[in-house]
Amino acid sequence: MRLGLVIDLDVCVGCHACAVACKEWNASGTTAPMTDYQPYGAEPSGVWFNRIRHYEVGEYPNSKTINFPMSCMHCEDADCVTVCPTGASYKRAEDGIVLVDQTKCMGCNYCSWACPYGARELDRESGTMKKCTLCVDRIYDLKIPVEERQPACVNTCPAHARMFGDFDDPNSAVSIEVRERGGYALLPELGYNPTNQYLPVRKAKPIPTENLGKPGFKEKLKGFANRIVKR
């Protein structure tokens, strides 16, 4: 079994609900709480397993904002595991999830440097490395209804941009979506074979601009003012 996520970039709206749900669920659990620094202070910060980047692609008026969630990719050939000097970072044989044994981690940062996805964060308070666990303490919890035994980020996504499943099963929903939508992994040239996959943004129909007409007096005046006003 090889568990992982599929993220549909065409659907993700960048609302950060996945990151907040991740934070909330992992405030307690298998790998210890995700620490917050000054949570009620002027500059709150802390450890996050999931972060969302935003990119602008294309040229106006056909440009588009891409929201790009990133977390641990649970690579098949994970260098973060290879470089760990204490054996704290390990990959589970039964489901492919990469975890960190908090009792063995000494916070040397080797795994962070080896990860090209920036998926690991050093908890300054505990001195240990933290990362996405795919909510391993949730997906196997028999007390939780079957339909809710998914990572918190998947359960909470209001746009249904996230899917969770077994990539070793060719008939699973995640395998079918990746096959039919041309899903891809990040930085395949590195040879880490990330489990998590992304579905590409669908091509949008160009917005016609040739019939917009000439600018009126108001637009001309606004353009003139913009030219003379020093910004």
Longest dimension (CA), the chain: 71
Q: Which residues of the chain have pLDDT under 70?
A: 28-32, 210-213, 230-231
Residue 31: per-residue pLDDT = 65
Rounded to whole angstroms, the Cα distance separating 179 from 183 reads 7
Rounded to whole angstroms, the Cα distance separating 128 from 117 reads 18
Tokens representing 219 are 């637009």
Residue range of the domain that includes 153: 3-230
CATH number of 82's domain: 3.30.70.20
The number of CA neighbours under 13 Å toward the Cβ of 25 is 25
Residue 141: per-residue pLDDT = 94
Prediction pTM value: 0.84
Structural domain count of the chain: 1
Beta strands at 197-199 and 3-8: parallel, antiparallel or unpaired: parallel
Q: Supply the DSSP symbol for 23.
A: H
